[in-house]
Amino acid sequence: MDKSYNLTHIGLSDYAIHTYLSLVRHHPTNGSQLSKRSGIPRARIYDILRTLKAKGFVTEASKGIFVPLPADELIKQLRRNYETDLERLEALVKEVQTPAEHDFIWTVSGYQQAMDKAREMIDNARSEIYIRLFSQESEALVQALKKAEKKGVQVKCIFMEPFPKTFHPQHELVKRNLGGRSFDLVVDKQEFMGGMFTAENLEASRINWGRNRWFVTAGRDSLRHDFFHYFLYKTHTLHQPLDEEEKRLYEIIQNDM
């Protein structure tokens, strides 16, 4: 077997997952037949079956004949175990937790991890969101942002490309000089994440996240200033008046300290 399922967080090895899936596909069956179908060496298959049996994911219908726990029951059991462990860990943390003397800045590594964290922040927003993003990240987060707006969260976006609404006038210069797509998100004046996605290797991208007061304030002010940059660009460079929606947004940003 030469395959990775990338499911290490559920506490099962790739061999165990492959064995379970092979058993789901063909059962009831014995270890020898399962070894042939799965490609897992016979010397290992019985150890894996014993492990799965001990966890309750596999049972013996008769001596040496194995059947899998139904898949929906397996998922339910894993979810219960995972949630129970998390609840226990949360209780343990509360027992020992003391007020933090320092607010550290953390690094989120990889594009998917960063997008997952951004969605989590957006989903948990209660009052406001400031966000600056390129089209690729906009596509990834648009549904979460729309959902936040429906909850009554005020969403203020600066797009890093030409857009019918507010956008960064020097987006091309920013992308060229910085060597990637900048991304910034501030939620409820409490959390900030920001950094750069490099197109050549998205999964090597490193995005900073934290709740440090001055880190959040600096990030939020940077986004507020981008709105003023857009307003000046439109009125001074393009010599166009702000429309009614932009005037309303200007007043919001102006007073949004």
Euclidean distance between CA atoms 257 and 194, whole angstroms:
20
How far is Cα 149 from Cα 160, in angstroms, rounded to an integer?
21
The span from the CA of 107 to the CA of 160, in Å, is 23
Peptide bond into 28 cis (omega under 30): yes
d(CA 46, CA 90): 36
Q: What is the pLDDT of residue 64?
A: 82
One digit per residue, pLDDT tens: the chain, 257 residues? 555 555 666 667 777 888 888 888 888 888 888 888 888 888 888 888 888 888 878 887 788 888 888 888 888 888 887 888 778 777 877 776 666 555 678 888 888 889 999 999 999 999 999 998 888 888 889 999 999 999 999 998 888 765 556 565 565 666 666 677 889 999 999 999 999 888 777 777 888 998 888 889 999 998 888 888 888 888 888 898 888 888 888 888 888 77
Residue 167 gets which letter from DSSP? Answer: B
Question: What pLDDT score does 101 carry?
Answer: 57
Q: What structural domains does the chain harbor? A: 1-97 (1.10.10.10), 105-254 (3.30.870.10)
Reported as type and span, the H/E element at residue 177 is: helix 171-178
pLDDT at 165: 60
What is the per-residue pLDDT for 170? 61
* CA dist 235 → 168, 230, 239, 242, 255 (Å): 14, 9, 5, 7, 20
Q: What is the pLDDT of residue 159?
A: 82
Sequence-ordered strand ranges (E) for the chain = 29-30, 58-62, 65-68, 105-109, 128-133, 154-159, 181-187, 191-197, 206-210
100: which DSSP letter? -
Q: Are strands 181-187 and 128-133 parallel, antiparallel or unpaired?
A: antiparallel
Res 77: pLDDT: 80
**pLDDT at residue 117, rounded to an integer:** 92
Distance, in Å, from the CA atom of 220 to the CA atom of 224, rounded to the nearest integer, reads 6
pLDDT at 171: 59
